[in-house]
Amino acid sequence: MKKTGIFYGSSTGTCEDVAGRIAVRLGVDSADVHNVADMTAGMIEDYDVLLLGSSTWGCGDLQDDWYDALKLLQQTGLKGKTVALFGCGDSESYGDTFCDAVGVIYDGLKDSGCTFAGGGVAVDDYSFDSSSAVVDGCFVGLPIDEVNESDRTDARIEAWAETVRPAME
């Protein structure tokens, strides 16, 4: 299995919890699950596969720690690496910016030389108005709504993990 690191940005603990659940589902050791605030260039270089997650804040903004982390990822370069994205949002209260942070990270890394995995998540299983994480009619990563649809989270993680797993082999 390729060396896989999970990096999350979480202000309330929700995205951290989702990152941990993804790690368990994919068999990623807890030592390889990191708060993005602690990310270094050396950590990025250590991993072949990066699973990157952020909650969405305000009007479609990244979680605060992600601004510096995104710059670091861009500066370090991701050529030859595989990246899969996940994020948390509130589709009811913020339906017009649902999981936009995933789209912001995707836009920031799409020219970095990485290969994306875990995209193509169907939008028809979600209730929302708009999201910058939707490209060509599908989410570019896994959107999670723990506020309104927590009963669907485990099934969504399981389905997404199966699409990411081949990139980790």
Q: Among 122, 51, 126, which Cα is nearest to 86's?
A: 51
Query: Quick one: average pLDDT of 97-123?
Result: 97
For residue range 112-140, what is the model confidence (pLDDT) as tens digits? 999 999 999 999 999 999 999 999 999 99
Residue 67 has pLDDT above 90, yes or no: yes
Q: Give CA separation, 110 vs 89, 107, 116, in Å.
A: 21, 5, 8
Domain count, the chain: 1
For residue range 73-90, what is the model confidence (pLDDT) as tens digits? 999 989 999 999 999 999
List the CATH number of the domain containing 56. 3.40.50.360
Q: Which residue is associated with the tokens 């990310």?
A: 39
Alpha helices in 38-152 (DSSP H): 41-46, 66-76, 100-109
pLDDT bucket at 1, cuts 50 / 70 / 90: confident
For residue range 6-63, what is the model confidence (pLDDT) as tens digits? 999 999 999 999 999 999 999 999 999 999 999 999 999 999 999 999 999 988 999 9
Give pLDDT, residue 58: 85
Note down the domain range covering 104: 4-168
* CB-based contact 47:5 (threshold 8 Å): yes
Average pLDDT over the chain, rounded to an integer: 96
Residue 94 has pLDDT above 90, yes or no: yes
pTM for the full model? 0.97
